[in-house]
Structure formats: C-alpha cells, structure tokens
Amino acid sequence: MRERRCNDCGGPVAPRHRFCEACAFQRFRRRRGPSSTWAQFQAEREASKQRGTTTERGYGARHRRERARWKRIVDAGEAFCARCHKPIVPGTKWHLDHGPDRNTYLGPSHASCNVAAANATRPRSVVAKPTPNPPAPVDDNGRVIRVPHADGGFTTPTGRWKWSMDW
C-alpha cells in the first residue's frame, strides 16, 4: 500500500489525515489566530477522532451519492422539504435528512427544519441559547447613557449609531 503524503509539503502523514502535523498546526493557527497553542490544536484533533469518520457518522460515500442525486432535483426547483412539506427554493441551504435509524433517508429538508428536528430530541441543556443583551448603562438619574459624536449623532448602549434620540 502506498504511503499517504501531506497535501502541503509532501511529507508522510498518519492514516485519516491530509496534512502532516506541522502543516496542520499552521493551518489551525491561520484559522484560529496566531495566539493558538499546540495544546488547543491537539485537543481539537482528539475531539475529531472521538467523532469518528464521516462514514461512521452517516456522511460517507453513500450519503454523498444520494445528496448529489437530490441536488439535481433541488436545483430544478422540484423538491419539497421532508419535514414541513414546503418547496425548497433553489439556492437556499438544505440538508439530506436521515431517517430515525440513520440508515435511511427521508429526502431533502430545509437546513432550519433539519436542525430544529435534531434539537427537539436533545436535552434542553445541550441546545444553544441566545445570549441576552447586557443591560444599558444608566446615569445617576436612571437615564440611559448615550455617547455623542462630533457630527451631531450618538451611539446607543448597544453600539448602534443614530442621528436623533428616541422621543
């Protein structure tokens, strides 16, 4: 069997990887910022191993073939969402929806419908909650503080720039 080579430098790579560790770390730092550490890189790589391969997660060659088949139908505007039964507009985000056993396919679904269906089966603590806006800063009299600008406008506490006050 032929040894795998790094896509960047041509050096040898481990099974299931496209880049050697040095090139992968450089790519990681470009993506995450120059202050990223080797420990963060190793932790992300370990988490990737825990998730399993794309085939183990249900997104292998069979899934890609089936999605390509449905893509032609979606692009032609002839597909309907397997969840809400509304048409899928060509050019919008859509997923190839798995059945409950993850071995069958329901068909194409709006990305939002598919994610909502997945979140409905998860515990509430796992589903991301939007963070509330922080309370607006107020002065001693209880009025909201606004930052004036030299051109006559001002910035609201949420960072929005306006020309006039809310009356």
Single pTM value for the model: 0.53
Q: Which two tokens stand for residue 63?
A: 């899934």
What pLDDT, on a 0 to 100 scale, did the predictor assign at position 154? 63
Q: Which two tokens stand for residue 35?
A: 């202050």
What pLDDT, on a 0 to 100 scale, did the predictor assign at position 157? 56
Burial (CB count within 10 angstroms: exposed 0-12, middle 13-18, buried 19+), residue 78: exposed
Is 162 a residue whose pLDDT tops 90?
no
What pLDDT, on a 0 to 100 scale, did the predictor assign at position 76? 94
pLDDT per residue over 41-88, tens digit each?
999 888 888 888 888 888 889 999 999 999 999 999 999 999 999 999
Distance CA 95, CA 3 (A): 35
Burial profile 118-151: b = 16 or more Cβ within 10 angstroms, e = fewer: eeeeeeeeeeeeeeeeeeeeeeeeeeeebeeeee
pLDDT per residue over 111-159, tens digit each?
999 999 888 887 776 666 666 666 666 777 877 666 666 666 666 655 5
pLDDT per residue over 19-39, tens digit each?
998 999 999 999 888 888 999
What pLDDT, on a 0 to 100 scale, did the predictor assign at position 54? 81
What pLDDT, on a 0 to 100 scale, did the predictor assign at position 133? 62
What pLDDT, on a 0 to 100 scale, did the predictor assign at position 167? 45
In a 3-state reduction of DSSP, which class is residue 111?
helix
